[in-house]
Amino acid sequence: MEPLIYEETTETPGVILDKENGIFKIWGKAFPEETHKFYEPILNWLDEYIQNPNNKTSFVFKMDYFNSASSTRILEMLYTLDKLYKSGNEVIIQWHYLEIDDDMVESGKEFSEMISAPVEFHPYTEAQDND
């Protein structure tokens, strides 16, 4: 399965979906002009991935901001990961947020209540924002 990699821009998040190396990460700001066009390949990749997943899937969300349209697509991603979890696979979702960003941690908590897969919350400071 080929990796799906998007460079981060001012309007779209960076994305690494790499089955072979076990890297699943989305980060940055998300308010793409064409939400469907941006997220469709990501959702398709995840749908294909869950047909033959790794033994363990640890998915990192490290979002600075996302609009409501992206929120819907992020939830779709989480539902796909939850489907994988409910089928008996090891899935961990890591929700990283700037420790002073109450909105981002609240969004993560709301999402976590909508799925069964475990969600770990990881606050960080601006000084730590280099990974």
* Cα gap 15→8, rounded to integer Å: 7
Q: What's the mean per-residue pLDDT of the chain?
A: 96
Residues 26-78 have pLDDT tens digits of 999 999 999 999 999 999 999 999 999 999 999 999 999 999 999 999 999 99
Task: Give the pLDDT mean for 105-112.
Answer: 98
Domain boundaries, the chain: 56-126
pLDDT at residue 131 tops 80: no
* Cα gap 79→128, rounded to integer Å: 29
Q: What is the pLDDT at residue 126?
A: 81
Q: What is the pLDDT at residue 86?
A: 98
Number of C-alpha atoms within 13 angstroms, CB side, residue 99? 8
- CA of 115: how far to CAs of 33, 46, 110, 127, 131, in Å? 28, 16, 9, 31, 26
3-state secondary structure of 72: helix
Q: What is the pLDDT at residue 129?
A: 67
